[in-house]
Amino acid sequence: MTETSIYCGVDIGASSTKLVLIDGDGQTQARAIQRSGVDYGATAEACLNDAAKTAGVDENQVEHTVATGYGRRNVTFADSVRTELSCHATGCYEHYGRAITIVDIGCQDNKIIRLDDTGQRTDFKMNRKCAAGTGAFLEEIALRLDLRLDDLEKLASGTTEAVQLNSFCTVFASTEILSHLRQGAQLEQLVRGAFASVINRVAEMDRLVGEVVLTGGVVAHNPTTAEVFTAKLGRQVLVPPHPQFTGALGAALIARTKTSEQEKDDA
């Protein structure tokens, strides 16, 4: 590896595409994020262009690119693809370097990934069949309340009280919220209750043991969800730097490792 070697990880989610460039020492040089839209390949290209400009490098300096996420096979410039589980595990372990339980809450799905002290995955659970417990649930709540997504965090952080929502179903929960409004419930408490509903749904997926690390777009845009999660578990929930980029970071680190392994094979 040369000093100018750059490695790329791109995570194409159903809602957002995230890209990270790292150097030969594993240090992040740039990040980029855009709405995924309908042309995943074009969005990935746009992110690479943005990140390369930010890092002040030429795209030709990228030695290896690993793609992950929902649209990973649409990234034409990727040299290889890896699963979201592998990339999120690698990205989170880079930050903590010990046994952890990762909870990733995205727009369309959520994941629980357990790692041992060496960073090896020991177990995982995924939810892909229902919007409950995901960012899509919060998007629907915002729509029903005629709020912008940015408004949710401002409202939820303004109170410590939450209206309990008894339904995990997005449709039923939306109706339940409207019923609470008619009865005079405070908007702030309803939104915090929606955050709690997401966390409760995730907590029902699996037993959350050890140190819990929360990642994904939901906590990136709504930091109060980590506070709600901490109260739910009765112990501090960790949030890594740039929690929406852990999958892309992991993909970039895997790209760097794969290049190193190839160099050894060629030696």
- Comparing 19-23, 126-130, 141-145, the range with the smallest average pLDDT is 126-130
Contact 102, 216 (CB under 8 A): no
Burial 156-193 (b: 16+ CB within 10 A, else e): bbebeebbebeebebeebbebbeebeeeeeebbbbbbb
Q: What is the pTM of this model?
A: 0.90
The string of pLDDT tens digits covering residues 98-124 is: 999 999 999 888 999 999 999 999 999
Domains of the chain and CATH, by start: 6-92+244-266 (3.30.420.40), 97-242 (3.30.420.40)
The string of pLDDT tens digits covering residues 224-259 is: 999 999 999 999 999 999 999 999 999 999 999 976
